[in-house]
Amino acid sequence: MKKVTLAIVGCGGMGRRHLAGLAELAKTDHNTVHLAAVCDLDARKAEALADEALGLLGHRPRPFTDAARMAAEIDGLEAADCTVDTGAHHRVATALLDLGLHTMCEKPLALTIRGCNLVMEAAARNGRILSVAENFRRDPINRLARALLDDGAIGDRQFMMETSVTGRNHLFITPWRHMKLTGALTLDAGVHNADILQYYFGDPVSAYGQIRLFEKTRVKSNAAGPGGFWEAWADDVPERIEPTGEDAMFGVVNFANDTIGQWVFHSAGHGLPFNHRMVFGTSGSIAAPGDRNGRPLRLVLDDGTDLSDERVLDHAPSYHLSPVAAELFGGDRVWSYDFDFVTTDRKIVALEYHEFAECIRSGAKPEVDGAVARRAVALVYALFESAVAGRPVTIDEVEAGTVDAYQREIDEYHGLIGKNALAG
């Protein structure tokens, strides 16, 4: 396959993690992406990522501060990887698509449903691939859990608990992650869990939620971020901030076919961190270990079966990783793995790039396209909108924008509604 010529747009921490993922892909038999350029509004960040790429890839992509100029000057540029901060997704991903570039966008697709619509409309009018880099579901252990469910290992799906309680009053990497107008953690990180809920249990149809802003002040903690990728800018992070975005949400989710989920995302939790993913079926349960840690899952059945080793594979005959995932994780029926976070992370990002390039060449629909990604955003906002409306809401009414009281302030701030609204 002819390599896809691509640029990374957004050279912050996640831009660096994506570069590491590209370098990981380049080491496989599936080296399908050529990094021709990098772009950031901050020239120093673009230069630094170009330098880092030289070390990791053996060639230096051209650095830019303006994506339009980049598209004009790089011969044969076909695609962009949008790793700008969440508050800029709707503008930057839309602009990249309008430049004619196939676009892979970091999650969440956008800050609000209207923001998601803007990006999706740009993909449609330009006839370009839009893929969203949702990484959790690509973890082989989540693939295995999904295969167990699909193969009926625990009978029919019945109930799922998705719980994350952690965070205390710590400032998580960057201030923008704590602000309603730029993407609070409940959206920015919570969308991962929303996607896992839909990946495990299918389409969510309605939800009831409560939201809170518990920590009115947060203090600088690990500004270097996971894997230390944000370390170079850690000094720019203030010692304390006053968050405006809710840091906790508590919800009940109804899925099609009458299954149910209980979802807690609480990033102001003190004491013992509590992360739990439990799935119950009509004849057993799966305790899933979470994401990117490689730990085995545990399958417990009513007949006395209790497995947390490779024998779980006997209950998932359909489980097979893709060839590139099998190469990266050491087998096509991996039931556990032992890599550190940074290594695991770059393998999963490599998978995102690989699928994106394949979709560009074949025209196939990405696994997490705009519609799947917008549904996850709608599930997050269903909890928010339900809390504001004081009643359960359907995911459809949130996605259609007919229930939007919480999001309106964000949409107005970004010019997504009102008399000067960006064209959609």
Ligand X SMILES: NC(=O)c1ccc[n+]([C@@H]2O[C@H](COP(=O)([O-])OP(=O)(O)OC[C@H]3O[C@@H](n4cnc5c(N)ncnc54)[C@H](O)[C@@H]3O)[C@@H](O)[C@H]2O)c1
> Backbone phi, then psi, for 37, in 5-degree steps?
-155, 160
Shortest distance (Å) from residue 282 CB to ligand X:
33
Shortest distance (Å) from residue 287 CB to ligand X:
23
Shortest distance (Å) from residue 106 CB to ligand X:
4
Q: Is the CB of 90 or the CB of 157 nearer to ligand X?
A: 90
43's tokens: 């020239």
Q: Residues 107, 93: contact at Cβ < 8 Å?
A: no
Q: Is the CB of 81 or the CB of 385 nearer to ligand X?
A: 81
- Nearest in space to 93 (alpha carbons), one of 65, 61, 131, 127: 131
Q: Is the CB of 66 or the CB of 156 nearer to ligand X?
A: 66
140's tokens: 């082989």
Shortest distance (Å) from residue 94 CB to ligand X:
11
Pairing relationship of beta strands 306-307 and 298-301 according to DSSP bridges:
antiparallel
Give residues in contact with ligand X (CB under 6 A). 9-15, 39-42, 45, 67, 83-86, 88, 92, 106-107, 135, 173-174, 188, 230
The count of other CB atoms within 10 Å of the CB of residue 70 is 25
Shortest distance (Å) from residue 325 CB to ligand X:
17
> Backbone phi, then psi, for 266, in 5-degree steps?
-130, 100
- Nearest in space to 196 (alpha carbons), one of 232, 233, 160: 160
Q: Is the CB of 174 or the CB of 344 nearer to ligand X?
A: 174
Cβ-closest residue to ligand X? 12
Shortest distance (Å) from residue 15 CB to ligand X:
6
Q: Is the CB of 84 or the CB of 359 nearer to ligand X?
A: 84
Reading phi first (left if > 0) and then psi (alpha if -120 to 50, else beta), residue 228 is in left
Question: 115 Cβ partners below 8 Å, 6+ apart?
Answer: 89, 90, 109, 411, 414, 416
Shortest distance (Å) from residue 92 CB to ligand X:
5
Shortest distance (Å) from residue 95 CB to ligand X:
8
Q: Is the CB of 164 or the CB of 386 nearer to ligand X?
A: 164
As separate numbers, helices (DSSP H) first and strands (DSSP E) second, the chain gives 13, 18
Q: Is the CB of 103 or the CB of 394 nearer to ligand X?
A: 103
Q: Residues 103, 18: contact at Cβ < 8 Å?
A: no
Shortest distance (Å) from residue 361 CB to ligand X:
24
**Which residue bears the tokens 């076919």?**
257
Q: What is the DSSP letter of 369?
A: -
Q: Is the CB of 137 or the CB of 157 nearer to ligand X?
A: 137
Q: Is the CB of 83 or the CB of 386 nearer to ligand X?
A: 83
Q: Residues 283, 221: contact at Cβ < 8 Å?
A: no
* β-sheet bridge partners, residue 106: 133
> Backbone phi, then psi, for 323, in 5-degree steps?
-55, -40
Shortest distance (Å) from residue 16 CB to ligand X:
8
CA 121, CA 127: separation in Å to the nearest integer?
10
Shortest distance (Å) from residue 114 CB to ligand X:
17
Q: Is the CB of 96 or the CB of 395 nearer to ligand X?
A: 96
Question: 202 Cβ partners below 8 Å, 6+ apart?
Answer: 157, 255, 256, 257, 259
Measured in whole angstroms, how far is the alpha carbon of residue 208 from the centre of its chain?
23
Q: Residues 80, 101: contact at Cβ < 8 Å?
A: yes
What distance separates the 2 farthest-apart alpha carbons in the chain? Answer: 65
Q: Is the CB of 30 or the CB of 89 nearer to ligand X?
A: 89
